[in-house]
Amino acid sequence: MTNHEYTAPVPGLDAVEVPEPGAVTVVVASPGEPGNVRRLLRLITESVPGRLPCEVVFVDDFADDTAEVIREAAQDCPFPVTVLHREDPAGGPGGAVAEGLRAACSEWIVVMDGDCRHPPSLVPELVATGEHAGAELVVASRYAEGGHRGGLADGRRVAVSRGAARLTKALFPRRLHGISDPMSGFFAVRRSAVTPDLLGPLGCEALLELAVHRPRRVTEVPFVPQDRSAGESGPTVREGLRLLRRLAGLRTRTPLARLIGFGLIGASGFVPNLLGLYVLDALGLHYVPAEILANQLGVAWNFLLIEQLLFRDRRAHRRGRDRLGRFALLANADLVLRIPLIALLVHRFGMGALPATALALVLTFVLRFVGTEALVYLPRRRPGNRTTARRAV
């Protein structure tokens, strides 16, 4: 995996100078707040069409009147407005972003939220900066020089935002070089530089998915988030856990990284195993059945962590009980296989008991990892997603 080639922002750039082709598709994924639609389209009308050709694509995942509101508000817009309604909102907001990227027809695509916190007036500058810098990805950053957190006045939101950005950059120091705000959610990307079908379900972290797995020339434009005009949102524990799971999934995307993660999770399973053994021994249970039962606690612990952190996006083809049964069978087969393997290494190859045990642990661990990938978590098959497109104007 190569690194980003970072290009410094061009100061004082006039977006009127955007060379052709400079058309832009503005993708607004899962707007969800009909009260913002009219204001957003008005702001786009005031800022974008006079400086470069544009179209707007809304991806609607909600069974409310959002699509109707968009259609009515688009009547006075001097540019095409399309509403994509997803009957099956697979992947959540991240899936909506991917759907919008598929539908985009322009050289440049700008992804932004529908709550008016991302100023449409910055759209021409994002495209102009990308054209002049020869970049493929342009990030609107709150943390670049000249940017500001803006509406993140609440201390909790500031801490969560900063903490998420720092954690993300710490996990991907090379791949996110030159991106100060990987959680921005407001960015421009060349259509030729992205494969929407490979995007994961990331929501505002769609930028993170692009940056981590599609290395490209990147640059930044500072921005200040605007006040929300309707609706409200804030960081939740659920969103934080979802982000942690997704970061773990991105970090363990390669086989070697998954192997390391598999080993670390396996090592952590000794804790519930030993605790269970201690309790069962204190209850007077014989050590043989106590060992067997305690081992199942470690298996269950490992299964839960592996499900959430390593193979969360590869679970759709089997039911949970089937996955658990296969995983438990492999984990217990590991114990059964290890003893005769140690005996073979000692008596047939003349190894000492300690090195034979160590080698057997390594061999059975690798076999269990390969078996888990092949027999429990086959590559996920992408389900079909029904999407209907309606041109608003």
Query: Domains of the chain: which residue ranges?
Result: 5-252+385-391, 255-376
| Omega before residue 225 within 30° of 0, cis | no
Among the listed residues 181, 100, 167, the one whose alpha carbon sits nearest the alpha carbon of residue 138: 181
Residue 110 and residue 24 in contact, taking contact as beta carbons nearer than 8 Å: yes
- State the Cα–Cα distance between residues 111 and 120, nearest whole angstrom: 10
Among the listed residues 26, 5, 1, the one whose alpha carbon sits nearest the alpha carbon of residue 119: 26
Radius of gyration of the chain (CA): 26
| Residues paired with 24 in a beta bridge | 54, 108
- State the Cα–Cα distance between residues 63 and 349, nearest whole angstrom: 68
Residue 142 and residue 118 in contact, taking contact as beta carbons nearer than 8 Å: no
The dihedral built from the CA positions of residue 37, 43, 45 and 49, taken in this order, carries a sign that is: negative
- State the Cα–Cα distance between residues 46 and 124, nearest whole angstrom: 12
Domain with residues 5-252+385-391, CATH architecture: Alpha-Beta Complex (3.90)
Per-residue tens of pLDDT for the chain, all 393 residues: 444 554 444 444 443 444 444 589 999 986 556 778 888 999 999 999 988 899 999 988 776 677 888 888 888 899 999 988 887 766 667 778 888 888 888 889 999 988 888 999 999 999 999 999 888 889 998 888 877 765 545 555 666 666 666 777 676 777 777 788 887 889 999 888 776 555 555 444 677 777 776 556 888 999 888 765 554 455 555 556 666 666 666 666 667 777 888 888 888 888 888 888 888 888 988 877 887 788 888 889 999 988 887 887 777 778 888 899 999 888 888 777 877 888 888 888 888 877 887 788 788 888 888 888 888 887 555 555 556 665 565
Residue 311 and residue 326 in contact, taking contact as beta carbons nearer than 8 Å: no
